[in-house]
Protein backbone atom coordinates (compact mmCIF):
# COMPACT_ATOMS: atom_id res chain seq x y z
CA UNK A 1 0.00 0.00 0.00
CA UNK A 2 1.24 3.48 -0.85
CA UNK A 3 1.98 5.60 2.20
CA UNK A 4 0.45 9.07 2.00
CA UNK A 5 1.64 12.13 3.86
CA UNK A 6 2.20 15.87 3.76
CA UNK A 7 5.06 18.32 4.14
CA UNK A 8 5.08 21.13 6.67
CA UNK A 9 7.14 23.43 4.48
CA UNK A 10 9.37 25.79 6.47
CA UNK A 11 7.88 28.79 4.73
CA UNK A 12 5.30 28.58 7.51
CA UNK A 13 6.45 30.00 10.86
CA UNK A 14 7.36 27.48 13.58
CA UNK A 15 4.38 28.46 15.75
CA UNK A 16 2.07 27.14 13.01
CA UNK A 17 3.39 23.61 13.49
CA UNK A 18 1.39 22.53 16.54
CA UNK A 19 -2.13 23.06 15.14
CA UNK A 20 -1.10 21.39 11.89
CA UNK A 21 0.38 18.42 13.74
CA UNK A 22 -2.74 18.10 15.89
CA UNK A 23 -4.98 18.27 12.81
CA UNK A 24 -2.87 15.57 11.14
CA UNK A 25 -3.06 13.32 14.22
CA UNK A 26 -6.82 13.77 14.62
CA UNK A 27 -7.47 13.13 10.93
CA UNK A 28 -5.30 10.00 10.85
CA UNK A 29 -2.64 11.27 8.46
CA UNK A 30 0.11 8.68 8.18
CA UNK A 31 3.20 10.87 7.91
CA UNK A 32 4.15 14.53 8.28
CA UNK A 33 7.54 15.53 6.87
CA UNK A 34 9.72 18.44 7.95
CA UNK A 35 12.65 20.13 6.26
CA UNK A 36 15.84 21.60 7.65
CA UNK A 37 16.30 24.62 5.39
CA UNK A 38 18.68 27.51 5.87
CA UNK A 39 17.77 29.85 7.35
CA UNK A 40 14.21 28.95 8.14
CA UNK A 41 13.72 26.06 10.55
CA UNK A 42 15.75 23.17 11.90
CA UNK A 43 14.72 19.55 11.44
CA UNK A 44 15.30 17.94 14.82
CA UNK A 45 13.63 20.50 17.11
CA UNK A 46 10.24 20.49 15.32
CA UNK A 47 10.42 16.71 14.89
CA UNK A 48 10.82 16.27 18.64
CA UNK A 49 7.90 18.61 19.29
CA UNK A 50 5.67 16.90 16.71
CA UNK A 51 6.41 13.47 18.16
CA UNK A 52 5.72 14.68 21.70
CA UNK A 53 2.39 16.24 20.71
CA UNK A 54 1.11 13.04 19.07
CA UNK A 55 0.74 9.31 19.66
CA UNK A 56 0.37 7.79 16.19
CA UNK A 57 1.64 10.25 13.59
CA UNK A 58 4.92 9.27 11.97
CA UNK A 59 7.33 12.13 11.41
CA UNK A 60 9.90 12.42 8.65
CA UNK A 61 12.88 14.75 8.54
CA UNK A 62 14.29 15.24 5.11
CA UNK A 63 16.79 16.38 4.51
CA UNK A 64 19.35 17.01 7.22
CA UNK A 65 22.29 18.70 5.43
CA UNK A 66 25.34 16.76 6.55
CA UNK A 67 27.89 19.61 6.31
CA UNK A 68 26.00 21.41 9.09
CA UNK A 69 25.95 18.55 11.62
CA UNK A 70 28.79 16.62 13.21
CA UNK A 71 27.89 12.98 12.71
CA UNK A 72 28.20 12.17 16.42
CA UNK A 73 25.69 14.91 17.30
CA UNK A 74 23.31 13.62 14.63
CA UNK A 75 23.61 10.08 15.98
CA UNK A 76 22.96 11.24 19.54
CA UNK A 77 19.87 13.20 18.53
CA UNK A 78 18.41 10.48 16.33
CA UNK A 79 19.11 7.78 18.90
CA UNK A 80 17.42 9.85 21.61
CA UNK A 81 14.31 10.38 19.50
CA UNK A 82 14.17 6.73 18.45
CA UNK A 83 14.35 5.58 22.07
CA UNK A 84 11.68 8.08 23.17
CA UNK A 85 9.35 7.50 20.20
CA UNK A 86 10.30 4.11 18.76
CA UNK A 87 9.42 3.49 15.15
CA UNK A 88 7.84 6.88 14.53
CA UNK A 89 10.74 8.88 13.06
CA UNK A 90 12.19 8.59 9.57
CA UNK A 91 15.31 10.57 8.77
CA UNK A 92 16.98 11.44 5.49
CA UNK A 93 20.30 13.17 4.98
CA UNK A 94 21.81 14.92 2.00
CA UNK A 95 24.40 17.34 0.67
CA UNK A 96 22.45 20.49 1.51
CA UNK A 97 22.10 23.42 -0.86
CA UNK A 98 25.69 24.30 -1.73
CA UNK A 99 25.07 28.05 -1.74
CA UNK A 100 23.72 27.83 1.81
CA UNK A 101 26.60 25.64 2.89
CA UNK A 102 28.97 28.28 1.57
CA UNK A 103 27.18 31.01 3.49
CA UNK A 104 27.89 29.27 6.80
CA UNK A 105 31.43 28.18 5.95
CA UNK A 106 30.49 24.50 5.69
CA UNK A 107 30.82 23.88 1.95
CA UNK A 108 33.17 21.01 1.12
CA UNK A 109 35.15 20.24 -2.00
CA UNK A 110 33.62 16.79 -2.45
CA UNK A 111 30.01 16.54 -1.19
CA UNK A 112 29.80 12.95 -2.45
CA UNK A 113 32.80 11.89 -0.34
CA UNK A 114 31.37 13.60 2.73
CA UNK A 115 27.97 11.97 2.30
CA UNK A 116 29.51 8.52 1.85
CA UNK A 117 31.67 8.86 4.99
CA UNK A 118 28.76 10.33 6.94
CA UNK A 119 26.28 7.60 6.01
CA UNK A 120 28.74 4.84 6.90
CA UNK A 121 29.55 6.39 10.28
CA UNK A 122 26.00 7.40 11.19
CA UNK A 123 24.50 4.00 10.42
CA UNK A 124 27.27 2.25 12.38
CA UNK A 125 26.78 4.50 15.41
CA UNK A 126 23.04 3.87 15.38
CA UNK A 127 23.73 0.13 15.33
CA UNK A 128 25.53 0.64 18.64
CA UNK A 129 29.00 0.03 17.25
CA UNK A 130 32.20 1.67 18.43
CA UNK A 131 33.36 3.69 15.46
CA UNK A 132 36.83 4.90 14.57
CA UNK A 133 37.25 6.68 11.25
CA UNK A 134 39.92 8.90 9.76
CA UNK A 135 38.30 9.97 6.53
CA UNK A 136 38.63 13.04 4.41
CA UNK A 137 35.82 14.74 6.32
CA UNK A 138 34.56 12.39 9.06
CA UNK A 139 37.00 11.68 11.88
CA UNK A 140 35.96 9.64 14.92
CA UNK A 141 38.12 8.06 17.62
CA UNK A 142 36.44 5.19 19.47
CA UNK A 143 33.04 6.87 19.49
CA UNK A 144 30.17 4.76 20.81
CA UNK A 145 26.70 5.81 21.89
CA UNK A 146 25.90 5.11 25.53
CA UNK A 147 22.20 5.02 24.66
CA UNK A 148 21.88 3.47 21.21
CA UNK A 149 18.40 2.62 19.99
CA UNK A 150 17.09 -0.88 20.56
CA UNK A 151 16.83 -1.21 16.79
CA UNK A 152 18.73 1.03 14.41
CA UNK A 153 16.32 3.25 12.45
CA UNK A 154 16.71 3.43 8.68
CA UNK A 155 18.67 6.39 7.34
CA UNK A 156 17.49 7.54 3.94
CA UNK A 157 19.31 9.95 1.66
CA UNK A 158 18.25 12.46 -0.93
CA UNK A 159 20.13 13.27 -4.10
CA UNK A 160 19.76 14.71 -7.58
CA UNK A 161 22.86 13.99 -9.70
CA UNK A 162 23.73 10.49 -10.93
CA UNK A 163 26.89 10.11 -8.80
CA UNK A 164 24.99 11.00 -5.65
CA UNK A 165 22.06 8.82 -6.66
CA UNK A 166 24.36 5.82 -7.08
CA UNK A 167 25.80 6.56 -3.66
CA UNK A 168 22.28 6.44 -2.19
CA UNK A 169 21.97 2.92 -3.54
CA UNK A 170 25.39 1.96 -2.19
CA UNK A 171 25.18 3.39 1.31
CA UNK A 172 21.70 4.54 2.39
CA UNK A 173 18.62 2.63 3.56
CA UNK A 174 16.30 4.33 1.10
CA UNK A 175 15.87 7.40 -1.09
CA UNK A 176 14.00 10.70 -0.95
CA UNK A 177 13.21 12.35 -4.29
CA UNK A 178 12.47 16.04 -4.48
CA UNK A 179 9.22 17.55 -5.71
CA UNK A 180 9.57 18.28 -9.37
CA UNK A 181 10.44 14.64 -10.10
CA UNK A 182 8.02 13.33 -12.71
CA UNK A 183 6.93 9.68 -12.77
CA UNK A 184 9.48 9.02 -15.52
CA UNK A 185 12.05 10.87 -13.42
CA UNK A 186 11.28 8.48 -10.55
CA UNK A 187 11.89 5.50 -12.81
CA UNK A 188 15.18 6.94 -14.06
CA UNK A 189 16.35 7.78 -10.54
CA UNK A 190 15.54 4.31 -9.28
CA UNK A 191 17.49 2.74 -12.12
CA UNK A 192 20.52 4.75 -11.03
CA UNK A 193 19.97 3.85 -7.36
CA UNK A 194 19.74 0.19 -8.37
CA UNK A 195 23.09 0.48 -10.18
CA UNK A 196 24.70 1.70 -6.99
CA UNK A 197 23.04 -1.00 -4.91
CA UNK A 198 24.13 -3.72 -7.32
CA UNK A 199 27.68 -2.41 -7.45
CA UNK A 200 27.87 -2.54 -3.66
CA UNK A 201 26.48 -6.08 -3.58
CA UNK A 202 23.32 -5.06 -1.73
CA UNK A 203 20.40 -7.31 -2.53
CA UNK A 204 17.38 -5.26 -1.52
CA UNK A 205 16.38 -1.64 -1.83
CA UNK A 206 14.83 0.51 0.86
CA UNK A 207 11.78 2.77 0.85
CA UNK A 208 11.31 5.31 -1.93
CA UNK A 209 9.83 8.60 -0.72
CA UNK A 210 8.73 11.20 -3.28
CA UNK A 211 7.56 14.73 -2.57
CA UNK A 212 4.77 15.87 -4.89
CA UNK A 213 3.47 19.40 -5.39
CA UNK A 214 -0.21 19.70 -4.50
CA UNK A 215 -2.61 22.62 -4.30
CA UNK A 216 -6.25 22.76 -3.28
CA UNK A 217 -8.61 25.55 -2.30
CA UNK A 218 -8.58 29.09 -3.62
CA UNK A 219 -6.39 30.55 -6.38
CA UNK A 220 -4.80 27.26 -7.34
CA UNK A 221 -3.53 28.31 -10.82
CA UNK A 222 -1.87 31.43 -9.43
CA UNK A 223 -0.28 29.56 -6.54
CA UNK A 224 1.06 26.78 -8.76
CA UNK A 225 2.46 29.35 -11.19
CA UNK A 226 4.29 30.96 -8.28
CA UNK A 227 5.71 27.53 -7.41
CA UNK A 228 6.81 27.02 -11.03
CA UNK A 229 8.71 30.28 -10.95
CA UNK A 230 10.13 29.64 -7.50
CA UNK A 231 11.54 26.24 -8.44
CA UNK A 232 12.52 27.15 -11.99
CA UNK A 233 10.35 24.61 -13.81
CA UNK A 234 9.38 25.05 -17.43
CA UNK A 235 5.89 23.82 -16.62
CA UNK A 236 3.93 22.32 -13.75
CA UNK A 237 2.31 19.78 -16.08
CA UNK A 238 3.20 16.32 -14.84
CA UNK A 239 4.79 17.71 -11.68
CA UNK A 240 1.76 18.49 -9.50
CA UNK A 241 -1.67 17.22 -8.52
CA UNK A 242 -4.77 19.26 -7.88
CA UNK A 243 -8.53 19.13 -8.22
CA UNK A 244 -10.95 16.79 -6.48
CA UNK A 245 -9.94 13.98 -4.14
CA UNK A 246 -10.52 11.55 -7.01
CA UNK A 247 -8.30 13.55 -9.36
CA UNK A 248 -5.52 13.86 -6.80
CA UNK A 249 -5.69 10.14 -5.99
CA UNK A 250 -5.47 9.30 -9.70
CA UNK A 251 -2.41 11.53 -9.99
CA UNK A 252 -0.73 9.96 -6.97
CA UNK A 253 -1.20 6.56 -8.60
CA UNK A 254 1.16 7.60 -11.41
CA UNK A 255 4.01 8.18 -8.96
CA UNK A 256 3.18 4.99 -7.06
CA UNK A 257 3.25 2.99 -10.28
CA UNK A 258 6.64 4.53 -11.07
CA UNK A 259 8.05 3.10 -7.85
CA UNK A 260 7.20 5.47 -5.00
CA UNK A 261 6.46 3.68 -1.73
CA UNK A 262 5.46 6.94 -0.04
CA UNK A 263 4.02 10.01 -1.74
CA UNK A 264 4.29 13.10 0.43
CA UNK A 265 2.13 15.96 -0.80
CA UNK A 266 3.85 19.34 -0.70
CA UNK A 267 1.51 22.33 -0.30
CA UNK A 268 2.32 25.76 -1.61
CA UNK A 269 3.94 28.01 1.01
CA UNK A 270 0.91 30.31 0.84
CA UNK A 271 -1.69 27.59 1.38
CA UNK A 272 -4.64 29.39 3.00
CA UNK A 273 -5.70 26.47 5.21
CA UNK A 274 -2.88 24.09 6.05
CA UNK A 275 -4.91 22.25 8.69
CA UNK A 276 -7.61 21.73 6.08
CA UNK A 277 -4.98 20.50 3.65
CA UNK A 278 -3.80 17.69 5.94
CA UNK A 279 -7.39 16.76 6.86
CA UNK A 280 -8.33 16.59 3.17
CA UNK A 281 -5.41 14.28 2.40
CA UNK A 282 -6.10 11.99 5.35
CA UNK A 283 -9.88 11.83 5.16
CA UNK A 284 -10.74 12.27 1.47
CA UNK A 285 -7.72 11.29 -0.60
CA UNK A 286 -6.34 8.46 1.55
CA UNK A 287 -9.35 6.15 1.10
CA UNK A 288 -8.97 6.44 -2.68
CA UNK A 289 -5.26 5.51 -2.81
CA UNK A 290 -4.59 1.75 -2.81
Give the 3-state secondary structure of 79-119: HHHHHHCCCCEEEEEECCCHHHHHHCCCCCCCHHHHHHHHH
Q: What percent of the chain has pLDDT over 70?
A: 100
CA quadruple 74, 44, 277, 96: dihedral, nearest 10: -50
CB 126 within 8 A of CB 74: no
CA 268 to the chain's CA centroid: 17
pLDDT at 101 over 90: yes
pTM of the model: 0.96
pLDDT band at residue 203 under the 50/70/90 scheme = confident
Mean pLDDT of 258-269: 98
Cα–Cα separations (whole angstroms), residue 232 to 180, 226, 236, 257? 10, 10, 10, 26
* Rounded CA separation 65/266 (Å): 19
* Four-way CATH pick for 3-288: 3.40.50.2300, 1.10.1660.10, 3.50.50.60, 3.20.20.30: 3.20.20.30
pLDDT band at residue 210 under the 50/70/90 scheme = very high
pLDDT at 1 over 90: no
CA quadruple 59, 60, 66, 71: dihedral, nearest 10: 40
- pLDDT (tens digit, 9 = 90+) per residue, 143-188? 999 999 999 999 999 988 999 999 999 999 999 999 999 999 999 9
* Domain residue ranges of the chain, discontinuous segments joined by +: 3-288
Cβ neighbors of 276 (< 8 A, separation 6 or more) are 23, 217
Amino acid sequence: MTTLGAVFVPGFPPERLRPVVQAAEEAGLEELWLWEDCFLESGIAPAAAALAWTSNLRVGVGLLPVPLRNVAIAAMELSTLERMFPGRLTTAVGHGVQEWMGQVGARVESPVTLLREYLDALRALLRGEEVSREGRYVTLDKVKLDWPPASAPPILAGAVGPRSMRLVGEAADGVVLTAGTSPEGVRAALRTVAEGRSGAGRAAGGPVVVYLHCAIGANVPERLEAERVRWGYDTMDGLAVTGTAEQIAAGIAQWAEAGADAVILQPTPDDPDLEGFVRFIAQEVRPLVP
